[in-house]
DNA sequence: CTGAAAGCGCTTACAG
DNA sequence: CTGAAAGCGCTTACAG
């Protein structure tokens, strides 16, 4: 590996001059610049980021704003672990990472946490965006301050985000439908259950549902698709009644699709006879959902590599800050199909 | 953040002495050591890894010995890319990686390539082991020289390897059987085709077959399992005849399982009528195999994260050398279930 | 057992 | 417009 010193010797200039050319810092004559550039190109030289980091001394800090996890929805624990791991890895570049979580039910917690992070003057933001109105305000501030930001997990359009890291939700839903049909041969009815008012994840959940129904349309499968909405504030007893009554009234339902990470809550509510006969498909390898795979109540989970989402987002942003690597505008991670047998190799992220 | 210099001043010793204490390098009087340790603890000091990496520059080199890929079996291309990517990432630690490939059909190429790598006095080896006799000899040399080594992709027992990075092949085969049955309802016959004499991968292939057949035993499914061996030297015409004749003679066969990465060769040989009616399940997301998913001739591919196998192996070894992190003895990567719809998010590794 | 000094490769303030 | 030199924090011969 060449060094700046060697490049400088080769070009008969000082190291400082090479550095000026490398970082377009100006104050170099055209002739010298060309000479240096030629040699840089000849050796395909690039700076040693470790030395650079040391000389620059702790220049960057990345702020991360994501939802908190709780007992009934552990989903965000895993991206958070990925973020922590990445933070560890990029210490060697002198980059600091600060993560704060907000309450997914409370817009003001989202805003307040954002401002809390802003206090330390971050070089960049990683945001799992909730609440469209509030996101618009947040992003306006970042655009104004020229702080780069990328969106994690929840894909929204129309912003100047550097990138998006997450899943292709439409295709994920489409795959769920295909898997559903692989287990239920005749034409039948299917039920989509939304377990809460989707003020937050709505875009991902919406796209999953779209993909799910599209499978039937595209393949001209004459199935009826029903939808049931459950309020997350509903007591468990109330939820039980709602769900089982609904299933009782629709005996042709062969499978249930839950386009969120909360299929375990549904399993908790469903009468045993339904658990045994219906195909259930849900999202995300949270511990409770994995338990449902293991006890055979759920056939498939679609998983979205939550750990990697966090890890990749942080690494990507660091590469952007440190090496000025521009990432793709969308980074879609694999859509994992989990069954009882392969899930054990996918649970270490929690 | 405190520096070694500050710790040294505080303790009235030199920076070198602090360094000796920090890394237990000995040659420090008990009294001095205690004084220094107390101050390190007081300030909760830890070394700046950036500076450390820079100063340690170019200490380690890792030798990698893996099979070459060829037109009909691209499998090893992907681990190789993972290795290259990891090599890039750990440049910042000053670790060099040298990869050489051997011919999977020729034991002497395996041995010769190993000795070629040995010439540069590697700090560690990563080996995809073939040929048991030869592997025993190689490993004896490494044990003797106290060079640490880990096995990649092919799991063999009874050696002092630091770790194994690859797939749980038994479970992968077990899953293949489960998926096979999800598409074929009645009890029927299934055919296992081995596309070559397995002198190399035999352990992985053997375990996959074991897992596959175990599924039927464990779940008491009364299916007949047949086996057909094809020589890789056979001409395409001969292979065609063998396969189609066999299928013709066994009309109850409902599905074919190929426990190697060569299912595309089978597809190439099979008559159209079989391609349309039989369930085919194979391994690995090579470009040719992916093509078979896309044109619907293959229902499922089991994939083993080949890119990550290479990437993780190198990173693991570097962490061991640089930070003295001892890895788990076995690192099983996820067993991916690939279908037409999710394969596009898994092909970037080739 | 201990210290002084050079060096890892890059960046920057200063002098000209 | 350009170069010489100090410095980022740690590691490692070398000398004593």
How close B239 gets to chain A, by Cα (Å)? 32
User: Model pTM greater than 0.85?
Assistant: no
pLDDT (mean) for B21-25: 88
B326 domain residue, yes or no: yes
Is residue A18 very low, low, confident or very high in pLDDT (cuts 50, 70, 90)? very high
> Does residue B346 sit at the A interface (CB-CB below 8 Å)?
yes
The tens digit of pLDDT for each residue in A200-244 reads 556 888 899 999 999 999 998 888 999 998 887 788 898 899 999
User: Two tokens at A265?
Assistant: 């809550």
Rounded to the nearest 5 degrees, what angle is found at the Cα of B94, between the Cα atoms of B88 and B98? Answer: 60
Is residue B60 very low, low, confident or very high in pLDDT (cuts 50, 70, 90)? confident
Domains contained in chain A, number: 3
How close A92 gets to chain B, by Cα (Å)? 4
For chain B, give the percent of residues with pLDDT over 90: 59
User: Is B224 in the same domain as B268?
Assistant: yes
HSE-up (13 A, CA, CB side) for residue A207: 14
The residue that leads in pLDDT, A92 or B212, is B212
How close B236 gets to chain A, by Cα (Å)? 34
User: Is B178 in the same domain as B155?
Assistant: no
Q: Is the CB of B29 under 7 A from strand C?
A: yes
Core vs surface per residue A271-298: b (16+ CB within 10 A) or e: eeebbeebbbbbbbbbebbbebbeeebb
Q: Is residue A284 over pLDDT 90?
A: yes
User: Is B194 in the same domain as B133?
Assistant: no
Q: Is the CB of A24 under 7 A from strand D?
A: no
A340 domain residue, yes or no: no
Task: State residue B43 phi and psi, 5-degree precision.
Answer: -95, 5
pLDDT at A185: 64
Cα dihedral sign, B304-B307-B310-B311: negative
User: Is A322 in the same domain as A285?
Assistant: no
Are A175 and B333 a contacting pair at CB < 8 A? no
User: Is B35 in the same domain as B108?
Assistant: no
pLDDT (mean) for A236-261: 92
User: Is A159 in the same domain as A194?
Assistant: no
Return residues 1-30 of A near B (CB < 8 Å): 1
Q: Is the CB of A3 under 7 A from strand D?
A: no
pLDDT at B253: 92
User: Is B297 in the same domain as B199?
Assistant: yes
User: Is B257 in the same domain as B146?
Assistant: no
Q: At what angle do helices A15-22 and A4-11 cross, to 10 degrees?
A: 110
What 3-state class would DSSP assign to B329?
A: coil
Q: Is the CB of A251 under 7 A from strand D?
A: no
Spell out which residues of chain B touch residue A50, defining contact as CB-CB under 8 Å. 50, 53-54, 92-93
Q: Is the CB of A32 under 7 A from strand C?
A: no
Q: Is the CB of B32 under 7 A from strand D?
A: no
pLDDT at A95: 85
Q: Is residue B294 over pLDDT 90?
A: yes
Are B50 and A93 a contacting pair at CB < 8 A? yes
pLDDT at A197: 60
pLDDT (mean) for A194-199: 62
Q: Is the CB of A287 under 7 A from strand D?
A: no
B243 domain residue, yes or no: yes
**Closest nucleotide to the alpha carbon of A23, via C1':** C11
A339 domain residue, yes or no: no
pLDDT at A350: 53
Q: Is the CB of A1 under 7 A from strand C?
A: yes
Residue found under tokens 């030289």: A45
User: Two tokens at A88?
Assistant: 């560890």
Spell out which residues of chain B touch residue A316, defining contact as CB-CB under 8 Å. none
Pairs across A and B, CB distance < 8 A: 77
A341 domain residue, yes or no: no
Is residue A349 very low, low, confident or very high in pLDDT (cuts 50, 70, 90)? low
Spell out which residues of chain A touch residue B48, defining contact as CB-CB under 8 Å. 54
CA of B3 to C1' of D10 (A): 9
What residues pair up with A194 in beta bridges, in sequence order? A229
The tens digit of pLDDT for each residue in A58-77 reads 678 899 999 999 888 889 99
Q: Are A94 and A155 in contact (CB under 8 A)?
A: no
Task: State residue A131 phi and psi, 5-degree precision.
Answer: 60, 95
Protein residue nearest nucleotide C9, by CA to C1': A51
User: Two tokens at B189?
Assistant: 């016959």
Return residues 183-222 of A near B (CB < 8 Å): 183, 185
Core vs surface per residue A73-84: b (16+ CB within 10 A) or e: bbbbbbbbbbbb
A54 vs B1, B50, B183: nearest CB: B50
Are B51 and A54 a contacting pair at CB < 8 A? yes
Are B54 and A54 a contacting pair at CB < 8 A? yes
Q: Is the CB of B58 under 7 A from strand D?
A: no
> Residue B230 and residue B195: Cα distance in Å, rounded?
5
CATH number at residue B237: 3.40.50.2300
pLDDT (mean) for A294-313: 94
Intra-chain end-to-end CA distance of chain A, in Å: 39
**Burial of B182 from C-beta contacts in 10 A (0-12 / 13-18 / 19+):** middle
Instruction: Single out the residue of B301, B312, B345 nearest to residue A302, CA to CA.
Output: B345
Q: Is the CB of B24 under 7 A from strand C?
A: no
Cα dihedral sign, B268-B176-A336-A314: negative
Residue found under tokens 């039927």: B216
> Residue A204 and residue A210: Cα distance in Å, rounded?
10
> Residue B94 and residue A42: Cα distance in Å, rounded?
22
- Chain B residue closest in CA terms to A333: B345
User: Is A86 in the same domain as A129?
Assistant: yes
> B204 lies in which domain range?
169-303
> Residue B201 and residue B219: Cα distance in Å, rounded?
28
Rounded to the nearest 5 degrees, what angle is found at the Cα of A318, between the Cα atoms of B78 and A67? Answer: 100
User: Is B43 in the same domain as B102?
Assistant: no
Q: Is residue B345 over pLDDT 80?
A: yes
The residue that leads in pLDDT, B237 or A90, is B237
The tens digit of pLDDT for each residue in A115-142 reads 999 988 899 999 999 888 899 999 999 9
User: Two tokens at A180?
Assistant: 């559903």
B249 domain residue, yes or no: yes
Q: How many Cβ atoms sit within 10 Å of the Cβ of residue A100?
A: 15
Q: Is residue A186 over pLDDT 80?
A: no
How close B259 gets to chain A, by Cα (Å)? 17
- Chain B residue closest in CA terms to A342: B335
Is residue B223 very low, low, confident or very high in pLDDT (cuts 50, 70, 90)? confident
B337 domain residue, yes or no: no
Protein residue nearest nucleotide C4, by CA to C1': B14
HSE-up (13 A, CA, CB side) for residue B78: 21
Are A183 and B178 a contacting pair at CB < 8 A? no
How close B80 gets to chain A, by Cα (Å)? 20
Residue found under tokens 């600060």: A98
Cα dihedral sign, A41-A46-A52-A58: positive
Cα dihedral sign, A322-A323-A324-A329: negative
Are A94 and B50 a contacting pair at CB < 8 A? yes
User: Is B105 in the same domain as B227?
Assistant: no
Q: C-alpha B313: how far from its chain's center?
A: 8
A245 domain residue, yes or no: yes
User: Is A204 in the same domain as A278?
Assistant: yes
Return residues 42-101 of A near B (CB < 8 Å): 48-51, 53-54, 58, 91-94
pLDDT at A120: 83
CA of A41 to C1' of D5 (A): 28
């Amino acid at each position: 590996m060449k060094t700046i010193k060697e490049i400088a010797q080769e070009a008969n200039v000082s190291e400082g001059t090479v550095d000026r050319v490398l970082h377009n810092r100006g104050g170099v004559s055209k002739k010298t610049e060309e000479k240096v550039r030629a040699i840089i190109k000849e050796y395909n030289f690039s700076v040693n980021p470790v030395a650079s980091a040391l000389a620059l001394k702790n220049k960057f800090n990345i702020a991360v704003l994501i939802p908190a996890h709780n007992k009934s929805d552990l989903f965000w624990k895993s991206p958070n672990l990925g973020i922590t791991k990445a933070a560890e890895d990029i210490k060697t570049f002198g980059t600091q990472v600060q993560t704060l979580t907000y309450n997914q039910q409370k817009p003001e917690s989202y805003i307040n946490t954002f401002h809390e992070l802003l206090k330390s003057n971050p070089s960049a933001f990683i945001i799992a965006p909730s609440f469209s109105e509030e996101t618009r305000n947040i992003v306006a501030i970042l655009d104004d301050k020229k702080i780069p930001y990328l969106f994690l997990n929840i894909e929204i359009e129309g912003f100047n985000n550097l990138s998006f890291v997450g899943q292709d939700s439409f295709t994920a839903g489409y795959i769920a439908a295909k898997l559903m049909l692989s287990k239920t041969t005749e034409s039948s009815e299917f039920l989509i259950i939304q377990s809460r008012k989707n003020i937050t994840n709505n875009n991902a959940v919406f796209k999953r549902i779209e993909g799910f129904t599209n499978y039937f349309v595209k393949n001209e499968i004459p199935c009826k698709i029903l939808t049931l909405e459950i309020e997350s504030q509903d007591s468990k007893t109330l939820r039980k009644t709602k769900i089982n009554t609904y299933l009782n009234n629709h005996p042709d339902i062969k499978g249930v699709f839950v386009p969120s990470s909360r299929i375990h809550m549904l399993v908790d509510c469903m009468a045993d006879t339904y658990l045994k006969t219906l195909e259930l498909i849900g999202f995300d390898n949270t511990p409770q959902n994995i338990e449902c795979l293991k006890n055979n109540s759920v056939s498939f989970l679609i998983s979205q590599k939550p750990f990697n989402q966090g890890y990749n987002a942080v690494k990507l942003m660091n590469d952007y800050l440190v090496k000025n690597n521009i990432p793709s505008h969308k980074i879609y991670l694999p859509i994992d199909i989990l069954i009882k047998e392969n899930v054990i190799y996918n649970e270490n992220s929690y």
